[in-house]
Structure formats: structure tokens, C-alpha cells
Amino acid sequence: ASRSVPVRGENNAATTRTKKITGRKRHVAVDTLGLVMMVVVHSASLQNHDGACFVLSRMKERFRRLQVVFADSAYGRNGLPGWVQEQFGWVLQTVLRPVGVKGFVVLPKRWIVERTFAWLARYRRTTRDYEKTNLSSEAFVHLAMIRLMAIRLARP
């Protein structure tokens, strides 16, 4: 059976003139249940293409049976699908909006990652950029998911 994983990035806080802070992006790969498999946090000055390369490179060692990766339409640019096929042998399939549809549309596979970001937003340390380093920011994403999984396992 093929395994698939949705990947998407999120701008946590872009650089603003009023706040005088630099932003970070979180790129998250989740399984079909929405549980985090891999997270990469980097500065907001890097493009989504670069963040996806970081995530997928880290995933190569852990998830060897992976065959299909679903991604946001932003990851379909700059030759990323071809690079993923060449480097890892995986198919990077972008989830596109239906043609001619206006307004909000629930996109298949993409809502799984959006739901994960909503779960992460419920935890104080992952809602805003409190951390000094990218590694500690990644660690708090993992801690939030560990707490979420522990609560689910403890239910009768």
C-alpha cells in the first residue's frame, strides 16, 4: 500500500515595521490523521520551496516506504515536483483549487494540515513566536503534539 503525507508551510509572523521582529515559517508534514511526522522552522525570508526541501530531506531517512506527498499549490513551483522525484523517488502531488469556484472551498488532503495547524494554535507556546531559536520552536511543536496524542490515548 502506498503511503501519502500532506505538507504545508505557515507564516508565523512576517517582518513588520511596527513590531521590529523577524518572522519564521513552519513547514509541517503530517500523516493522514493529522499527526506531525516532521516539522522544520526557518526564517520567513526563505521561500516555501526551500522549506519543503528541508522537510523532505529530513523525512528521507525516517520514512523510506513513502511514495506520495500531497502539498499546497505553492510547492508546485520552481521545479520542486521534479526535484522530489529525482532525489527521493516520491511523487509530489499539489492540491489545487477547482477551476471556476469562488469563495471558500474545502480542499481534499489540505484540510488535514490546516486542522493540525488549528490544533497547534490551541497551545500558547506555538501560537506566537516566543522562542529564540528555531530548534526550540520545533521542539514545542513536538511537545504540543505529544500532549495531544497523550490526551487521546488516555480517553476511556
* Class of CATH domain 3-154: alpha beta
CB atoms within 10 A of CB 100: 5
Q: Which residue has the cell 502531488?
A: 93
For 120-143, write each residue's pLDDT tens digit.
888 887 777 777 888 888 888 899
Confidence of residue 113 (pLDDT cuts 50, 70, 90): confident
The pTM is what?
0.74
Q: What percent of the chain has pLDDT over 70?
A: 86
pLDDT score, position 6: 55
Confidence of residue 16 (pLDDT cuts 50, 70, 90): very low
Is residue 30 a contact partner of residue 149, using CB atoms and an 8 Å limit? no
For 45-84, write each residue's pLDDT tens digit.
888 888 888 889 988 888 888 888 888 888 888 888 899 9
Q: How is the chain split into domains, by residue range?
A: 3-154
* Grid cell of 110 as nine digits: 489540505
